[in-house]
């Protein structure tokens, strides 16, 4: 209740708009914030180094495949062990960097999804000209509309921000 009333107070200008537009704007804001945080975190010096190391390990994997094709089992086995060591080490570095953007994304979703559910409930917020299987006719609930908006907007925002 407290979260809902707080969100209603903050987002009151949006509530006067059509529900589909409100959900579109919320999805856009979430996409922009998560992409920005992801870009700042992953494009930092640590992120670039971790990504380069992971790519280096992946190139070494190509050498393993080459050795296997040539029939050099001993070399392939040695390289495979090295690749596994490097990948596990570098993947953990890269994962720790991506953890912060993931937490922020989860926080935003946890903040906005319950508010949208309480605001729009089972209301149809958008209609499409054709019947869409599994969605249930040509009307879309807030969740389907948010999913479509968030998916498409995150692609567009990432392209615009150069990610």
Residue range 93-116, pLDDT digits in tens: 777 777 888 888 899 888 899 989
Q: Which pLDDT does position 79 carry in this prediction?
A: 80
What is residue 33's predicted lDDT score, i.e. its pLDDT? 93
- How far apart, in Å, are the Cα atoms of 155 and each of 25, 93, 151, 162, 163? 15, 25, 7, 11, 10
Which structural domain range is residue 96 located in? 2-160
For residue 126, the cross-strand partners are 140
Instruction: Mark 78-115 as b/e (b = at least 16 C-beta within 10 Å).
Output: ebbeebeebbeebeeebeebeeebeebbeebeeebeeb
> pLDDT value at position 135?
66
Q: How far is CA 53 from CA 7, 85, 90, 101, in A?
A: 43, 12, 6, 21
Which residues does the chain have with pLDDT short of 50?
none
User: Is the pTM of the predicted complex or chain greater than 0.85?
Assistant: no
Provide the number of structural domains found in the chain.
1
């Amino acid at each position: 209740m407290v979260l809902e009333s707080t969100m209603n107070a903050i987002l009151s200008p949006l509530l006067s708009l059509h529900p589909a537009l409100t959900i579109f704007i919320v999805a856009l804001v979430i996409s922009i914030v998560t992409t920005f945080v992801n870009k700042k975190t992953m494009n930092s010096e640590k992120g670039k180094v971790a990504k380069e190391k992971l790519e280096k390990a992946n190139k070494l994997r190509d050498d393993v495949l080459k050795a296997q094709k040539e029939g050099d089992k001993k070399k392939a086995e040695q390289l495979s062990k090295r690749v596994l060591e490097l990948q596990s080490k570098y993947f953990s570095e890269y994962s720790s960097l991506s953890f912060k953007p993931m937490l922020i994304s989860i926080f935003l979703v946890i903040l906005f999804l319950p508010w949208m559910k309480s605001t729009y409930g089972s209301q149809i917020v958008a209609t499409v000209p054709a019947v869409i299987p599994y969605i249930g006719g040509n009307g879309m609930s807030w969740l389907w509309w948010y999913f479509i908006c968030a998916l498409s907007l995150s692609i567009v925002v990432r392209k615009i921000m150069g990610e």
